Amino acid sequence: MLHNFGSGPAKLHKSVYDQLAQSLIDYEQTGLSILEVYHRTTLFEAILEEATQLCKELYQLDASKEVLFMPNGATWHFNLIAQNFIHTKAAYIHSGNWSKKAYDIALEYGKADIVASSENNHFKSIPVIEQDLSAYDYLHITSNNTDVGTQFHSYPNGSIPLIADMSSDIFSKPIDSNAFACIYAGAQKNIGIAGASLVIIDKDFLSKTHKHIPNYYQYNQWVNNKSIMNTPPIFAIYAMLVNMRWMKAMGGLEHMHIQAKEKAKLLYHTLDNSHLFEVYARKEDRSLMNVCFSMKETSLHNSFMHFAKEAGIIQIEGYRTVGGFRVSLYNAIELASVQHLCDVIAAFDHIPR
Ligand code: PMP
């Protein structure tokens, strides 16, 4: 049996795959494959409608929020956010590679500053803001740093709009959605498959969109056109819907959070109690979604990778600029798989050398 701990595209639950497979052959007994469903039909309208409702229900969104299902991944939103919302200048928290990418792209559209950074401790912690942000248009954070394994466990609450790239911890816990002007995420980790993204955006904030940018790049236009600006990634959006149905059936985000805490606790405990392994992030800021660690003796890296692979554990290579190992614990990862990994870590730790 394989245990895929990949960081994304990531594993979804087997029952989600079963439904997706069936939809490819015959979508809800229409005689059509989901791949040939035309987007301007009641069939697709129903998919978008249910997906929107489920997102609102899972996150308990009120009427102040719009939900968008858009093509492309999070990187596109690095562009759109800056393009739509930088008027004077934007503030970015620098907590890892993805936050830096978002910041660098923002500079292509306007002025932006890094207002807090944990670069000087190699992103082992979540930076804290110590300056007044009132001159900025928005504050951008990466809620979970997929590359280094840190996560915001509470969010900055200032007076300016807060925007979060939640690509790697979306739908992993309940949040107060009213704390955010905009949340966006690529779908391929905790929502569905690659090719689509989810955006939750505040209606008041939307009114601040630049009007001089092309229609296709304006979030407003995506709202006005109910996420259909051109042929959408129908299968990817349907995958999000099926996965959200699964999350709801499992007990919603409270349940996902309990599971995430249990899985992460088990793995961090095993690593902290081993002789050979060390966790990358400092304790207070450790991610419940991506556990990054390395061997104290780097010469044992390949040997553990091989040992793990023999035990069916795959896709645990660390992010390319960080190295070591990374185990992703998204919603569909079973506790039993994490237990198996912990047993393998403990067994490797006890091999006489
Ligand atoms: N943000 C974060 C936090 C990510 O982990 C990733 C991808 N790993 C991205 C953005 C980029 O996402 P995409 O490939 O969907 O553009």
pLDDT classification of 84: cutoffs 50, 70, 90 = very high
pLDDT at 71: 98
| C-alpha 167 to ligand 1 mean position (Å) | 6
Asked if residue 94 and residue 148 are part of one domain, the reply reads yes
Q: Which residue has the tokens 């393998």?
A: 344
Range(s) of the domain holding residue 50: 14-250
Say yes or no: 200 and 300 in one domain.
Answer: no
Q: Is the pLDDT of residue 158 over 80?
A: no
* DSSP letter for each residue of 8-69: SS----HHHHHHHHHHHH-GGGSSS-GGG--SSSHHHHHHHHHHHHHHHHHHT--TTEEEEE
The atom of ligand 1 lying closest to the CA of 143 is: 3
Q: Is residue 1 in some structural domain?
A: no
Closest protein CA for atom 5 of ligand 1: 146
pLDDT at residue number 275: 96
Q: Could you tell me if residue 67 is inside a domain? A: yes
pLDDT of residue 31 exceeding 80, the answer is: yes
The answer to whether position 211 is within a domain reads: yes
What residues act catalytically? 98, 165, 189
Of the pLDDT bands very low, low, confident and very high (cuts 50, 70, 90), residue 142 is very high
Shared domain check, 114 and 96:
yes
Q: Which two tokens stand for residue 243?
A: 């996965």
Q: Has residue 56 been placed in a domain?
A: yes
Whether residue 9 lies inside any domain: the answer is no
pLDDT over 90 at 159, yes or no: no
For residues 82-107, give the mean pLDDT.
Answer: 98
Among 184, 216, 250, residue at a domain's last position: 250
Ligand 1 pocket residues where CB is under 6 Å: 8, 73-75, 98, 142, 146, 165, 167-168, 186
Query: How far, in Å, from the CA of 189 to the mean position of ligand 1?
Result: 9
> What's the CA gap between 243 and 17, in Å, rounded?
9
Average pLDDT, the chain: 97
Does 282 share its domain with 341? yes
Ligand 1 centroid – CA 99 distance (Å): 10
Per-residue pLDDT reduced to its tens digit, 184-214: 999 999 999 999 999 999 999 999 999 899 9
Residues 240 and 111 grouped into a single domain: yes
Residue 8 lies in a domain: no
Query: 67 pLDDT band (50/70/90 cuts)?
Result: very high
pLDDT in tens, 241-260: 999 999 999 999 999 999 99
- Which CATH number goes with the domain that contains 275? 3.90.1150.10
Identify whether 5 is part of a domain. no
Q: Are residues 237 and 261 located together in one domain of the fold?
A: no
CA 329 – CA 183 distance, rounded (Å): 21
Based on the domain organization, do 95 and 222 belong to the same domain?
yes
Report if residue 2 sits inside a domain. no
What stretches of 216-334 show up as alpha helix (H) in DSSP?
219-224, 234-250, 252-272, 301-310
Residue that terminates a domain, selected from 250, 271, 298: 250
Examine the pLDDT at 38 and tell me if it is beyond 90.
yes
pLDDT at 353 over 90: no
**Any idea what the CATH number is for the domain that residue 115 is in?**
3.40.640.10
Q: Does 262 lie in the same domain as 241?
A: no
Residues 235, 314, single domain; the answer is: no
Q: What is the pLDDT of residue 224?
A: 97
- Last residue of one domain, picked from the residues 193, 224, 250: 250
81 and 115 share one domain: yes
Task: Please give the sequence-ordered ranges of beta strands (E in DSSP) within 88-229, or none if there are none.
Answer: 90-94, 112-117, 139-142, 144-145, 150-151, 162-165, 182-186, 196-202
Helix (H) or strand (E) run with residue 326 in it: strand 325-328
Q: What's the structural domain count of the chain? A: 2
261 shares a domain with 191: no
Q: Are residues 182 and 50 in the same domain?
A: yes
- Whether residue 233 is predicted with pLDDT greater than 80 in this model: the reply is yes
Residue range 256-291, pLDDT digits in tens: 999 999 999 999 999 999 999 999 999 999 999 999
| CB distance 327 to 252 below 8 Å | no
- Residue 182 phi, psi dihedral angles, 5° rounding: -160, 140
Ligand 1 pocket check: which of 140, 143, 168 to mutate, most ligand atoms within 8 Å of Cβ? 168
